Amino acid sequence: MSLINLNNEQKMIRDEFRKFATSELEPIAEEIEENGVFPEDIIGKLSELGLSSLIIPEKYGGVELDVTSLCIAVEEISKICASIGTILVVNNCMVAYPLMKYANESFKEKYLNRLSNGEIGGFICEPEIDLPEEKNDLKAEGDNFNFSGHREFLLNGESADFFIMPVSTSDVNKFYIIENDIKGIHLSSKNLLGMRAAGFAGAEFKDLKLTKEACFIPDDKGGKIQSEIRDYANIGFSAISLGIAQTALETAIKYSKERVQFGHRICEFPMVQEMMSEIKMKIETARLLVYDVASKVDKGEDFGIASKITRIYCGDLGVFAGLNSIQVHGGYGYMKDYPLERYFRDAKVLQLLETSPRISKSQIAKELLK
């Protein structure tokens, strides 16, 4: 049962990627997470099917589908492996989207085609708060800049062929594209609690040359574009949370029908039923939010506040579903033999990644109080 009605095309996308996830991802999901391996082969296969260039116009080799379709595919993939869902969201929402919307034709021609041909794009996150000077040393050299500093999170960092890099100071707000083999960048891998196969990396920059030719957004006034990219990506990240919550619930339902305690299957116990019903109610609410905000983007409507609300709600839902599904499993849910602990670990990242719910809430409040 679902409250969302899909059209023919969307049903095919859901069914085909559900099949792909079950057949191709399920056998390897635990292993790549355990070992923190970026799944290049799988991403290659998904690129061939068009998922990493889903929103890119056909003119640049992409599929030119809408954000609703992206969410459907990402939800299905994330039911089995949230790391892979994250890689795809970063490629589409944080790399392809700003290029599509703000870059000139020569940047689009070059970089969108590279993404469509299977290259991986990365995004160098800037913290949402002002950075201390030593973290962000930017020196002007004519039209160019020389950057030294540190960045904690590079999304798709371990395997990106090129990066989108926002650089913001009190005077400068620009977006650059840098190649992963450029001089002055030193990547380090992250040992994380969840999403261990998503290829998150950190980086030290030493005298990185940010040339005028590599700048595709020369003036992001007031950081509005960066905020818009976050809002756009929030929709994809919300679809990942939704996928995790759905699979956590399905796992709990299956287990509750099999597990017998005191002569009864535990699904017969009202308190277990309540936990599962609560997850279901939140999932259906979240699904409405995700597909409503996706349709706003597809129709060209304003989506900023709706996306923040969706991201906060879905981030909380993932953790709620993960925790309660562990609870349904009792002690077994805490064991690595069962996938519940992975769902929970992956869900937690989505309350933190790239945007803080507290800052999003203050932005929502600011909007309310205008």
Alpha helices in the chain (DSSP H): 8-20, 26-35, 40-48, 67-80, 82-89, 97-102, 105-107, 113-116, 224-258, 270-298, 304-329, 340-349, 357-368
Distance CA 370, CA 147 (A): 37
Return the residues of window 56-115 that contact other proteins according to CB under 8 A. 58, 63-65, 69, 73
Residue range at the interface with other proteins (CB under 8 A); choices 2-10, 119-127, 172-180, 207-215? 2-10
* Per CB under 8 A, 250 contacts other proteins: no
Question: Which class for 358: exposed (0-12), middle (13-18), buried (19 or more C-beta within 10 A)?
Answer: exposed
The correct pick among 31, 34, 44, 49 for binding other proteins (CB under 8 A) is 49
The correct pick among 19, 139, 264, 336 for binding other proteins (CB under 8 A) is 19
Residue 24's alpha-carbon distances to 39, 121, 159, 265, 341, in angstroms, are 11, 23, 20, 32, 21
- CB of 217 within 8 A of CB of 227? no
Phi, psi of 130 (to 5 degrees): -65, 140
Could you tell me the smallest distance in angstroms from the CB atom of residue 85 to other proteins? 16
- CB of 122 within 8 A of CB of 187? no
Could you tell me the smallest distance in angstroms from the CB atom of residue 11 to other proteins? 6
Please say which residue, 76 or 354, places its beta carbon nearer to other proteins: 76
The correct pick among 3, 4, 12, 260 for binding other proteins (CB under 8 A) is 12
* Per CB under 8 A, 50 contacts other proteins: yes
Please say which residue, 51 or 125, places its beta carbon nearer to other proteins: 51
Sequence-distant (≥ 6) Cβ neighbours of residue 333 within 8 angstroms:
325, 326, 327, 340, 341
Please say which residue, 140 or 332, places its beta carbon nearer to other proteins: 332
Please say which residue, 172 or 253, places its beta carbon nearer to other proteins: 253
Residue range at the interface with other proteins (CB under 8 A); choices 11-19, 211-219, 270-278, 332-340? 11-19
User: Which amino acid is present at 151?
Assistant: R
Could you tell me the smallest distance in angstroms from the CB atom of residue 338 to other proteins? 17
Please say which residue, 14 or 209, places its beta carbon nearer to other proteins: 14
Enumerate binding residues for other proteins (CB under 8 A): 7-9, 11-13, 15-16, 19-20, 48-51, 54, 58, 63-65, 69, 73, 257
